[in-house]
C-alpha cells in the first residue's frame, strides 16, 4: 500500500478559468525520495499544499488524496501534524518562537508529548542536525541556512513518516543549500523517511533521489529515474533540460558520447568530459571595457543596524562601473543585502561615503538616490500594494509624465518581457513565488532607473526563465544601465556578469571577471568549472563546454 496516493487531483483557484492542477495522479511509497520540478507557475506549490489539509489553498478541488489508504480529509489534524511534515520556501515564515531550543520543542508541546520524551527528542535532533553550538541562541541571531535547518529539525522531532518541502533552499547560499540537501539525503537513507521535494537546485538533489517528476501546466509531463529523465527531456525538446545538472545538460546538448546511464555528479561529469578528448574549439572571451566611468564608489564604508550592535558592513571600499553587470555572492549573513540597501539609500553608513556618479548620497530623500537607483528586495510581496498586478505596475508609473495610453503600452511591453501577460489581472498574492518575483521585477524595471540593484532576481525560476531573464538584463546593459546582482545562483552570475565579488564578513574579499574569479574558488564556483578545470580552468558555464567541444557536423 502506498503511503501517499494521489488520484485524478484537479484544482482551480477562485476566479480562474484554467485549473492549476489537471488530473494529477501518482503515489509515494515508504522510503521514496522524489523530486518535483517544472517551470515557474506550473503548479508545484499548489500540488504540495493539497497534500496537507491545513495548508490547502482556497479553491475547487476534485479527485482524492489518500494517506495510508484513507482519504486525507478523514485523517485527523493531529495525525497529519505528527506524520506529514512540511517545510516552506521562506524560513522566516515557519519560525514561531524566539529561542532555538523552544522552536525545537514547540511542535511536541502542541502534541502534548510528555516532558521526558520531549527532552529526548529535542536532544537527539539537536545532535543529529549539529545545532548544539547555537542551541540557546535567539532565532534572530541565526543565518538563513541555520533557520531553515532549524525548521527541518523541529519537524523531524515529531518523527514524521512523510516530509514535504517546497523549494527550501531558494534563499540559501550554495554551501548552506548543499548542507541542507545532504541532510535530507541522510534523513531519507538513515531514517527511511519518505520525501517529496520541490527544488530548482538539481545539481545537489538528483544524485540522492529515487525519482523525478516534471510538471507542465498543471500536469505530470514526465516521471522517471533521475538518470533517465534527461533522455526523456532531450527527446521531448523540453526547456526543463536547462534546469538539470551541468553534466546532464552537457551530455544531451552536446550530443556526443551519450552514455546509456547519464552522469549526474561533478565526478561523473568529469569522467565523461575526459572521454571527449582534446577540445577543438575555444572559449568566447569578453572584450575588455575601455573608458570606464565610475557609477558607484564605496569609500571606507561602515554600517550597523543599531548603535550598540555589531558592524554588518566593515571598511568597504571599491568601485562599480557604469554599464556593467556586477554580481555580489557570498554566504547568508555576510552583508550582501545590507550593501544593496546602502546603494539604494534605504540605509546610510555611519562612517565613510557612497558616491553615485561622483555625488555623495546622504539620505534616501535625495532626488539623486530616488531617481537613479531602483532596488528589488528579496521578498517580492513587499512590492505589492494593489489588488491586481496591472494596478501595481501602474503604481510604478504614477510619477512619470506619460499619457494613459503610453502607460498602458509600457505595462504591456514590460509584461511581455517578464512573461507575466497572463497574470496582469490576478491578485499578486495568488501568484507562485517565481511569478511574484517576475511581477516585482517588472515593477522595478518600469521605474527606468540608471542603476538597478536586484537582490535574488532569479529566485524560484527554472533554467528556461533564467535565460530569458539574462536576455532582459543584457539588453538593459546595452542601454547603458548599471546592474548590481545579489545572488546565490553562481551559474547565472557566471554567465551574465562583467565582474563578480565575494562578500565575506561585511567586505569584499575578492573581485574579478568571472573566468578568473571562479577559476580560483573551490566551493564558490560552478559545476561546469569543477567538471572541466583539469582541462581548462576558464570554463564557467555549460555554454563554454559546448564552445570547446563543438557539436559534430552531420
Taking phi first (over 0 means left), then psi (-120 to 50 degrees means alpha), and beta for anything else, what does residue 340 get?
Answer: alpha
Write out pLDDT tens, residues 467-492: 888 988 998 999 889 999 999 899 99
Taking Cα atoms as reference points, which of 522, 517, 513 lies closest to residue 178? 522
How confident is the model over 344-348, as a mean pLDDT? 89
DSSP 178: H
pLDDT classification of 59: cutoffs 50, 70, 90:
very high
Half-sphere exposure of 37 (CA within 13 A, CB side): 31
Taking Cα atoms as reference points, which of 356, 340, 275, 286 lies closest to residue 512? 286
The answer on pLDDT for 234 being more than 80 is yes
Taking Cα atoms as reference points, which of 509, 521, 418 lies closest to residue 472? 418
DSSP 138: B
DSSP 456: S
Opening angle at CA 531, ends 527 and 534, nearest 5 = 135
Q: Name the least confident of 15-19, 322-326, 509-513.
A: 15-19
d(CA 469, CA 483): 13
79: CB partners within 8 A, 6+ apart: none
Helix (H, G, I), strand (E, B) or coil at 508: strand
d(CA 20, CA 42): 7
DSSP element (H, E) containing 49: helix 44-49
| Order of strands, sheet of 311-321, starting from the edge strand that comes earlier in the sequence | 311-321, 294-304, 351-356, 359-360
d(CA 238, CA 469): 18
Q: Do residues 478 and 498 touch, judged by C-beta distance below 8 A?
A: no
pLDDT averaged over every residue in the chain: 89
What is the grid cell recorded at 454? 536586484
Half-sphere exposure of 232 (CA within 13 A, CB side): 14
d(CA 546, CA 279): 10
Helix (H, G, I), strand (E, B) or coil at 214: strand
Write out pLDDT tens, residues 68-102: 999 999 999 999 999 999 998 777 888 889 999 99
The answer on pLDDT for 290 being more than 70 is no
pLDDT classification of 497: cutoffs 50, 70, 90:
very high
Check residue 90 and give its pLDDT.
77
CB-CB neighbours of 350 under 10 Å: 12
Check residue 307 and give its pLDDT.
87
Check residue 370 and give its pLDDT.
55
Check residue 429 and give its pLDDT.
85
Q: Where are the beta strands (DSSP E) in 13-89?
A: 21-28, 33-38, 60-67, 70-71, 84-87
CB-CB neighbours of 23 under 10 Å: 14
Check residue 140 and give its pLDDT.
84
Opening angle at CA 153, ends 39 and 118, nearest 5 = 145
Check residue 382 and give its pLDDT.
80
Write out pLDDT tens, residues 241-274: 988 999 999 999 998 888 888 999 999 999 999 9
DSSP 73: G
Higher pLDDT, 288 or 153: 153
Query: Which stretches within 355-432 are classed as H helix?
Result: 367-372, 389-396, 404-417
Helix (H, G, I), strand (E, B) or coil at 554: coil
Spell out a b/e string for 320-347, using b for 16 or more CB atoms within 10 Å of the CB, else e: bbbbbbbbbbbbbbbbbbbbbbbbbbeb
401: CB partners within 8 A, 6+ apart: none
pLDDT classification of 466: cutoffs 50, 70, 90:
confident
Write out pLDDT tens, residues 420-465: 998 899 888 888 777 888 899 899 989 888 999 999 888 877 777 7
Question: Phi, psi (5° rounding) for residue 11?
Answer: -140, 135
Residue 423 vs residues 278, 391, 393: alpha-carbon distances, Å: 48, 12, 12
Q: Do residues 23 and 8 touch, judged by C-beta distance below 8 A?
A: yes
Q: Report the Cα 486 to chain-centroid distance in Å.
A: 12
Write out pLDDT tens, residues 351-363: 999 988 866 554 4
Tally of helices (H runs) and strands (E runs) in the chain? 20, 20
Check residue 147 and give its pLDDT.
86
pLDDT exceeding 90 applies to what percent of the chain?
59
d(CA 110, CA 440): 37
Q: Do residues 345 and 366 touch, judged by C-beta distance below 8 A?
A: yes
Check residue 179 and give its pLDDT.
87
The answer on pLDDT for 499 being more than 80 is yes
Q: Is 137 exposed, middle or buried (0-12, 13-18, 19+ CB in 10 A)?
A: middle
Spell out a b/e string for 377-391, using b for 16 or more CB atoms within 10 Å of the CB, else e: bbbbeebbeeebbbb
What is the grid cell recorded at 502? 565575494
Q: How far apart are the first and last CA of the chain?
A: 50
Higher pLDDT, 484 or 369: 484
Q: Report the Cα 98 to chain-centroid distance in Å.
A: 26
pLDDT classification of 365: cutoffs 50, 70, 90:
very low
d(CA 145, CA 332): 7
Q: Is 355 exposed, middle or buried (0-12, 13-18, 19+ CB in 10 A)?
A: middle
Higher pLDDT, 524 or 41: 524
How confident is the model over 289-294, as a mean pLDDT? 72
Higher pLDDT, 91 or 67: 67
Q: Do residues 426 and 388 touch, judged by C-beta distance below 8 A?
A: yes
Amino acid at each position: 500500500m502506498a503511503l501517499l496516493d494521489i488520484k485524478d487531483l484537479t484544482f482551480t483557484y477562485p476566479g480562474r478559468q484554467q485549473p492549476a492542477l489537471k488530473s494529477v495522479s501518482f503515489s509515494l511509497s515508504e522510503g521514496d525520495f522524489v523530486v518535483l520540478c517544472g517551470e515557474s507557475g506550473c503548479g508545484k506549490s499548489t500540488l504540495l499544499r493539497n497534500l496537507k489539509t491545513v495548508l490547502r489553498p482556497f479553491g475547487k478541488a476534485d479527485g482524492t488524496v489518500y494517506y495510508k489508504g484513507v482519504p486525507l480529509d478523514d485523517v485527523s489534524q493531529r495525525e497529519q501534524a505528527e506524520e506529514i511534515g512540511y517545510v516552506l520556501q521562506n524560513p522566516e515564515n515557519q519560525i514561531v518562537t524566539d529561542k532555538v531550543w523552544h522552536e525545537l520543542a514547540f511542535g511536541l508541546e502542541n502534541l502534548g508529548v510528555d516532558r521526558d520524551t520531549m527532552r529526548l527528542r529535542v536532544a537527539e535532533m539537536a545532535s543529529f542536525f549539529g545545532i548544539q553550538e547555537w542551541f540557546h541562541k535567539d532565532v534572530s541571531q541565526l543565518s538563513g541556512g541555520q533557520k531553515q535547518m532549524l525548521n527541518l529539525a523541529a519537524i523531524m522531532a515529531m518523527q514524521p513518516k512523510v516530509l514535504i518541502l517546497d523549494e527550501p533552499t531558494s534563499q540559501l547560499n550554495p554551501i548552506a543549500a548543499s548542507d541542507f540537501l545532504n541532510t535530507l539525503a541522510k534523513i531519507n537513507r538513515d531514517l527511511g523517511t519518505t520525501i517529496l521535494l520541490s527544488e530548482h537546485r538539481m545539481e545537489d538533489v538528483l544524485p540522492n533521489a529515487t525519482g523525478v517528476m516534471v510538471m507542465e501546466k498543471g500536469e505530470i509531463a514526465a516521471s522517471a529515474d533521475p538518470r533517465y529523465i534527461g533522455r526523456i527531456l532531450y527527446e521531448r525538446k523540453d526547456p526543463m533540460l536547462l534546469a538539470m545538472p551541468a553534466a546532464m545538460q552537457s551530455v544531451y546538448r552536446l550530443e556526443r558520447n551519450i552514455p546509456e546511464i547519464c552522469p549526474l555528479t561533478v565526478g561523473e561529469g568529469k569522467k565523461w568530459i575526459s572521454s571527449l578528448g582534446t577540445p577543438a574549439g575555444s572559449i568566447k572571451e569578453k572584450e575588455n571595457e575601455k573608458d570606464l566611468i565610475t557609477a558607484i564608489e564605496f569609500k571606507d564604508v561602515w554600517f550597523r543596524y543599531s548603535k550598540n550592535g555589531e558592524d554588518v558592513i566593515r571598511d568597504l571600499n571599491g568601485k562599480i562601473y557604469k554599464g556593467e553587470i556586477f554580481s555580489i555572492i557570498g554566504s547568508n549573513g555576510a552583508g550582501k543585502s545590507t550593501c544593496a540597501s546602502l546603494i539604494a539609500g534605504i540605509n546610510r553608513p555611519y562612517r565613510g561615503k557612497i558616491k553615485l556618479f561622483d555625488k555623495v548620497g546622504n539620505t534616501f530623500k535625495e532626488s539623486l538616490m530616488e531617481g537613479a537607483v531602483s532596488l528589488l528586495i528579496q521578498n517580492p510581496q513587499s512590492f505589492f500594494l494593489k489588488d491586481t498586478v496591472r494596478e501595481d505596475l501602474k503604481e510604478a508609473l504614477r510619477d512619470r509624465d506619460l499619457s494613459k495610453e503610453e502607460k498602458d503600452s509600457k505595462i504591456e511591453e514590460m509584461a511581455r518581457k517578464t512573461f507575466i501577460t497572463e497574470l496582469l489581472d490576478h491578485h499578486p498574492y495568488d501568484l507562485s513565488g517565481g511569478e511574484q518575483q517576475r511581477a516585482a521585477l517588472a515593477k522595478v524595471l518600469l521605474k527606468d532607473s540608471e542603476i538597478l540593484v536586484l537582490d535574488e532576481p532569479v529566485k524560484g525560476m527554472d533554467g528556461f526563465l533564467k535565460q530569458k531573464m539574462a536576455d532582459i538584463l543584457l539588453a538593459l546593459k546595452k542601454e547603458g544601465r548599471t546592474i548590481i546582482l545579489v545572488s546565490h545562483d553562481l551559474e547565472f552570475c557566471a554567465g551574465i556578469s562583467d565582474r563578480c565579488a565575494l562578500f565575506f564578513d561585511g567586505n569584499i574579499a575578492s573581485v574579478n571577471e568571472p573566468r578568473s574569479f571562479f577559476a580560483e574558488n573551490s566551493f564558490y564556483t560552478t559545476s561546469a568549472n569543477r567538471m572541466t578545470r583539469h582541462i581548462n580552468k576558464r570554463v564557467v558555464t555549460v555554454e563554454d563546454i559546448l564552445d570547446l567541444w563543438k557539436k559534430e557536423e552531420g
